[in-house]
């Protein structure tokens, strides 16, 4: 009889984001209990709990390394914005100014959002290359920083959009841009597979 395999997505998240000296034995225990008849929802709850317990432990036991990961990630975001995003967007705006059709189409905001996602993806992937042992807390801190730094502009646009309808497009773009950037960081960080992740998924 084939052993029961836990939910694939939950298992991948667990292997990639769990941290701590006992994470491997803990994953083995969860697999064993799931094989004995635990439900998929139970496995998901344990996965989320394990990840957040690991994050709390890393923040408590390794605060300076967590801060270093945040600074490195934020520095990469600023570097991408200054060296790649801003020049490309400046050129794109110059082209769009001469095309009424482009300004009114979804290409204009869509390009900005796409460039933001690509940059966030690359930053997330690079970040975990240097902080793979504390991947979850590194990604979480960077996502929180990206969202937090976007709040002042979000608030300003919200006030403007309250009285002027032409600001609503920019408000929507700001919201989508913040969410897409957060998603790009997470997807990029999770896409970088550690060798032990691959081995554990095969063995499991």
What value does the CA radius of gyration of the chain take, rounded to a whole number of Å?
21
pTM of the model: 0.83
Query: With contact defined as beta carbons under 8 Å apart, do 158 and 171 qualify?
Result: yes
Could you give the CA distance from residue 118 to residue 103 in angstroms, rounded to a whole number?
Answer: 22
pLDDT tens digits, 96-106: 666 666 555 65
Q: Alpha-carbon dihedral of residues 43, 190, 113, 130, nearest 10 degrees? A: 140
> What is the residue extent of each domain of the chain?
8-61, 63-191
pLDDT < 50 stretches in the chain: 1, 198-204
Alpha-carbon separation of residue 136 from 50, 127, 168 (angstroms): 11, 11, 34
Q: Quick one: pLDDT at residue 202?
A: 39
């Amino acid at each position: 009889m084939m052993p029961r395999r836990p939910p694939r997505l939950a298992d991948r998240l667990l292997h990639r984001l769990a941290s701590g000296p006992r994470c491997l034995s803990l994953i083995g225990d969860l697999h064993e209990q799931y094989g004995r008849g635990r439900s998929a929802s139970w496995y998901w709850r344990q996965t989320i709990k394990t990840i957040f317990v690991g994050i709390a432990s890393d923040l408590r036991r390794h605060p300076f390394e967590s801060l270093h990961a945040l600074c490195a990630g934020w520095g990469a975001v600023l570097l991408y914005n200054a060296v790649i995003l801003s020049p490309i967007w400046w050129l794109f705006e110059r082209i769009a100014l001469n095309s009424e059709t482009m300004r009114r189409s979804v290409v204009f905001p869509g390009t900005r959002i796409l460039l933001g996602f690509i940059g966030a993806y690359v930053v997330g992937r690079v970040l975990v290359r240097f902080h793979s042992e504390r991947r979850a807390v590194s990604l979480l801190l960077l996502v929180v920083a990206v969202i937090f730094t976007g709040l002042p502009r979000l608030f300003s646009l919200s006030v403007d959009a309250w009285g002027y309808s032409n600001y609503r497009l920019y408000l929507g773009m700001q919201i989508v841009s913040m969410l897409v950037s957060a998603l790009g960081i997470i997807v990029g960080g999770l896409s970088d597979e550690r060798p032990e992740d691959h081995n554990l998924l095969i063995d499991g």
